[in-house]
Amino acid sequence: MLLALAWTTLTRHRTRTLLAILGVAVSAAMLLDMVMLSSGMRQSFRSLLLSRGFQIRLSPKGTLPFDTEATMADAGAAVNTLRADREIVAVSPVLGGQLHVAMRAGALASVALGVEPDVQGDYELVEGRAPAAPNELVASDDFLRAASARLGDTLAAGAGFDPQLQALARRRSLIVVGRARFFYMPAGQRAVALPLGTLQQMQGPAARDRVSFFMVKAAPAANIEAVRRRIERALPQVTVVSTETAMRQVDERLSYFRQLAVILGAVSLAVGFLLVTTLVTVSVNERLGEIVVMRAIGVLRTRVVVQIVLEGMAIMIAGAPLGLGLGLATARYLNSILASFPGLPAAIDFFLFEPHDAWTALGLLTVVGILAGIYPSWRAAALPIATTLREEAI
């Protein structure tokens, strides 16, 4: 009943109420975006790290994977050591480098990953199959477009290219057998993956039995931190980073995003609060006589307060669905801008929508709607009846 009365009061001035609802929708959209930003990239990065189930990364001492061009020697011995641990179920060695493909005018350069196809965690096949022979590779869409290549084509490739001699270093014929989506590559990056041994041979004697990093998958019931400590003791020449350790580092580097989200979210709430408070106050001032008459005929003060507070809540709740749609649209647009940062994996999302984000935004808006109606409602309910009636009559 009270809610119906509150809505009837608001619809007396439809244009004013509509503008207020639109203003709340903009505020709600901004709030939703900031809630999504505060946790979106962290959750997206965590999902990316665990997309293939590998919880631990090993890199050269003092570095992060692909943080430098440093590599680790005696990769075969390290793999045997890791696989001897009963709680480790998979080890994926990865070597990074470049692959140059002969073109009519020079050579096309791309990022190359040397992997063991049966345990790799760097890509997923979109079409075709994984490399089964030393002279096979899978490639990203960007590489295939740039090389004008299709599945089944044979490419003349090398680990290097001499522009003066127009010659490939350690030339080799490679067959494209699959089209893949690479998890950790930036948007637009040309990338290929081929067997680890093949890339080591193409890079020459210096790369023999060397890798850039390892990815380790532990058993589901394993204590990841205990496994990490055992690896550190067994392989003191490497840096061992678990997913949780990586997330702590990410939290430190991205703390300013969360601070920005909190500040802008607070601003959006403040704007919504001031907007609704102003509208409700104006509405109350226009009908002081009506409110005082209600008080004079015995309507309880608390009932008057509740009705006016419900007006503020109604505006907030009416604007929330519009704000949700607007927030999702703007988040998608902003995400496309932020995702263009150089070196950032294309799979990372700054704005990651989860249902609890919408509920959090709705809860905050409801609280603000209640607070926005408290001052004007209490002021109206506390007016002296006789004096106000005389002033309204005059």
Q: In 250-327, at which residue ranges do the beta strands (DSSP E only) sit?
A: none
Q: How far apart are CA 121 and CA 116, in angstroms?
A: 9
Joined tokens for residue 9: 């009061």
Task: Give the three-class secondary structure for 131.
Answer: coil
306 CB-near residues (< 8 Å, 6+ apart): 2, 377
Report how far Cα 172 is from the mean position of its chain's Cα atoms. Answer: 39
Residues 6+ apart with CB under 8 A from 251: 42
User: Cα 283 to chain center, whole Å?
Assistant: 42
- If you search the block for the tokens 């997309």, which residue do you land on? 51
| Residues 19/318, Cβ–Cβ less than 8 Å | no
Residues shown for the chain: 394
Q: Give the helix/strand (H/E) hosting 107.
A: strand 107-115
| Model pLDDT, residue 95 | 92
Which token pair is 273? 């609060």
Cβ contact 276:369 at 8 Å: yes
Query: What pLDDT does residue 138 have?
Result: 95
CA dihedral 102, 103, 105, 109 (to 10 degrees): -70
Q: How far is the C-alpha of 314 from the C-alpha of 340, rounded, in Å?
A: 40
Count the helix, strand and coil residues of the chain and give each as a percent rounded to the nearest 5: 55, 20, 25
Task: For residue 95, list its beta bridge partners.
Answer: 114
The pLDDT value recorded for residue 344 is: 63
Q: What is the mean pLDDT of the chain?
A: 81
Which one-letter amino acid corresponds to residue 21?
Answer: I
CB 131 within 8 A of CB 137: yes
Question: Which residue ranges of the chain lie beneath pLDDT 70?
Answer: 1-12, 64-68, 253-254, 287-295, 298-299, 339-347, 381, 383-394
Q: What is the pLDDT of residue 130?
A: 92
Residue 91 confidence (pLDDT) = 92
Contact assessment for residue 198 and residue 181, using Cβ atoms and an 8 Å cutoff: no
Contact status, residue 174 vs residue 157, Cβ threshold 8 Å: yes
- Report the distance separating Cα 54 and Cα 180, nearest Å: 19
Question: 309 is written with which tokens?
Answer: 């507070």
Query: HSE-up of 87 (CA within 13 Å, CB side)?
Result: 15
Cα first-last separation, the chain: 32
Rounded CA gap, 281 and 274, in Å? Answer: 10
pTM reported for the whole predicted model: 0.70
Among candidate residues 91, 111, 93, 109, the one with its CA nearest the CA of residue 101: 109
- pLDDT confidence of residue 386: 63
Q: Is 45 helix (H, G, I), strand (E, B) or coil?
A: helix
